[in-house]
Amino acid sequence: MTLAETDDLAVKIIIYEDNADYGDALRILFSHEKDIELLSLFTNCSTVKEDIEALKPEVILMDIDMPGMNGIEAVRKIRQFNKVVDIIMVTIFDRDEHIFKALQAGATGYLLKTSSPDKIKESIKEVHNGGAPMSAGIARKVMSFFAGTGNTSAEADNLSIREKEVLGLLVKGYSYKMIAASLHISINTVSFHIKKIYEKLHVNSMSEAVAKAIQGNLLD
């Protein structure tokens, strides 16, 4: 179901959600938003490639428990042809294996369906501005999942003190704007530091940088 156009500056999103009640709640939520445009809501991922190429969303909200192809499989498929679109998992699952597999597959954020409407709206804007939003409980699980791995990396020695500060805030889910405000630097300077972090850690995305920082204990 394609919805009416809104502001051209609105963040364009699509949703994959097979729970009719929750899908309706999201549709109502975004119908009142001027800066978020819901392009379409799908109840399965069978045509995910065609959907994305036709609608060109900037952010995708993806459930995990979907009929046919599940949400994590859909994320893997999306990343085969689109590395740019941001994908936020919105699910009831808070088990470690689901979180880790979703982030490994290429998800940019992870929210529980118990998240407030304001948190969901805020997360869409945050991920669009370069953040990696997670429910508070999920962020703790991500940290604990990798805790005690004992991994160390010489890559940490290549990061400057400022780059480690920026990376630490990325791990916490801060957006570029939030990092700039926290460190009292410009957004352009944040972008410069993040570009250097990507180069030094040999990654191509924020989710990869965050995962590598946690896996390698780079911030210890």
Q: Decide if 136 is inside a domain.
A: yes
Would you state the pLDDT for residue 219? Answer: 55
182 and 206 belong to one structural domain? yes
With bands split at pLDDT 50, 70 and 90, how would you rate the model's confidence at 124? very high
Residues 167-195: what's their mean pLDDT? 83
- pLDDT, position 214: 61
- Whether residue 110 sits in one domain with residue 27: yes
Q: What is the mean pLDDT of residues 76-84?
A: 92
Residues composing the chain: 220
Domain limit, last residue, from 144, 175, 194: 144
Provide the domain count of the chain.
2
Residue 1 located in a structural domain = no
Do 88 and 51 have their domain in common? yes
* Domain end point (choices 125, 144, 163): 144
Local structure of 180: helix, strand or coil: helix
Dist. CA 209–CA 139, nearest whole Å: 15
How confident is the model at residue 179, as a pLDDT?
86
Domain assignment of residue 122, yes or no: yes
Indicate the average pLDDT of the chain: 81
Q: What is residue 4's predicted lDDT score, i.e. its pLDDT? A: 42
In a domain, residue 6? The reply is no
The answer to whether residues 122 and 24 belong to one domain is: yes
Q: Which residues pair with 91 in a beta bridge?
A: 112
Q: Is residue 3 part of a domain?
A: no
Can you give the residue range of the structural domain that contains 35? 11-144
In this structure, what CATH number is given to the domain that contains residue 94? 3.40.50.2300
Rg (CA), the chain: 17
> How many C-beta neighbours within 10 Å does residue 97 have?
10
Mean pLDDT of 130-143: 69
| 37 and 126 inside one domain | yes
Say if residue 116 is in the same domain as residue 159. Answer: no
Same domain flag for 137 and 211: no
Average pLDDT over residues 59-82: 94
Q: In this structure, are 42 and 134 located in the same domain? A: yes
Q: What is the pLDDT of residue 148?
A: 43
Same domain, yes or no, for 128 and 61?
yes
Q: DSSP string of 63-130?
A: -SS-SSS-HHHHHHHHHHH-SSSEEEEEES---HHHHHHHHHHT-SEEEETTS-HHHHHHHHHHHHTT
- pLDDT at residue 139, rounded to an integer: 66
Which CATH number belongs to the domain containing residue 210 in this structure? 1.10.10.10
